[in-house]
Amino acid sequence: MSTYLYDASWRQERERLAGIESLWDPGTIRQMEALGVAEGWTCLEIGAGGGAIVEWLCGRAGRVVATDLDTRFLEAIEAPNLEVRRHDIAADELPDERFDLVHARLVLEHLPGRDTALERMVSLLAPGGRLLIEDYDWSSYGVEPRSELGERAAEAVLAFMEEVAGFDRAYGRRLIGELRRVGLEGVEAEGRLRLIDPRSPGADFYRLSLAAMRDPLAEQGRLAAHETDAVLAMLEDRDSTIISPVMVAAWGRAPR
């Protein structure tokens, strides 16, 4: 069973997800185009979140299945070739159909049973089908000018997710090896890093991700509420720069 700490019912969750889309959708779309996604393809988007990539796929592919633990944002998408399913890739029964593309972004790093979940994703590929997985390596993350409190806040959030939900902050760097482990062919990978102006939409992802954790961090004594508020102010400072984690994209194809 997946344990995901960000609540889709939180009043600013769609705004938080929009920050992810602003930062990373262009690179994801570029990878999908390079893999050849086209009319006639059947595509599976796992952990589809706010649905921006789903909408792009619906305009490019033949049939799209979008899944998530909570599908409230996906259900607002109107596309005749889209099917939305509430589904946990770590635990729920898998569909019988096979897909030309299976994609998951910022999903496996959150799953304690990520090895099995990855194997389940591979089992959903048609012969010659492509798997595209994107996850973070957090080793590059920081804010300039540097702040001891800011670094402590980042560590508090990452440690909280690791201890409570089985999060893996370095999973991205292992992706290429993991795709080879599960038997895919033609495995390749790349990393993307962003330097983010706090006024840009992408900055909302990091600011709101911390804001969503404000009360749990305080309740567990990991970071006082006033300390979180100070870091949130820092993330809105016009003179600061956010250095993102590396988004690692790895892809490969199922044997024919």
Is residue 2 scored above 70 in pLDDT? Answer: no
Is residue 77 scored above 70 in pLDDT? Answer: yes
pLDDT band at 211 (very low <50, low <70, confident <90, very high): very high
As a whole number of angstroms, the distance between CA 55 and CA 178 comes to 28
Is residue 128 scored above 90 in pLDDT? Answer: yes
Poorest-pLDDT segment among 18-27, 33-42, 107-116, 200-209: 200-209
* CATH architecture assignment, domain 13-253: 3-Layer(aba) Sandwich (3.40)
Is residue 209 within 8 A of residue 17, CB to CB? The reply is no
Q: Where are the domains of the chain?
A: 13-253
Both structure tokens of 101 = 């593309």
Is residue 11 scored above 90 in pLDDT? Answer: no
As a whole number of angstroms, the distance between CA 39 and CA 63 comes to 8
Poorest-pLDDT segment among 81-85, 92-96, 173-177: 92-96
Q: What is the pLDDT of residues 215-252, one digit of tens each?
A: 999 999 999 999 999 999 998 888 899 999 999 999 99
Q: What is the pLDDT of residue 238?
A: 83
Is residue 99 within 8 A of residue 126, CB to CB? The reply is yes
* Adjacency order of strands within the sheet including 99-105: 82-86, 63-68, 42-46, 99-105, 125-137, 246-253, 185-192
* Predicted TM-score (pTM) of this structure: 0.95
pLDDT band at 178 (very low <50, low <70, confident <90, very high): very high
Bigger pLDDT: 18 vs 84: 84
Q: Mutual orientation of helices 203-212 and 225-235 as an angle, nearest 10°?
A: 170
With a CB cutoff of 8 Å and minimum separation 6, the contacts of 158 are: 138, 167, 169
203-215 burial: b if 16+ Cβ within 10 Å, else e = bbbbbbebbbbbe
Could you tell me what percent of the chain has a pLDDT over 90?
Answer: 86
Q: What is the pLDDT of residues 97-106, one digit of tens each?
A: 999 999 999 9
Both structure tokens of 41 = 């393809």
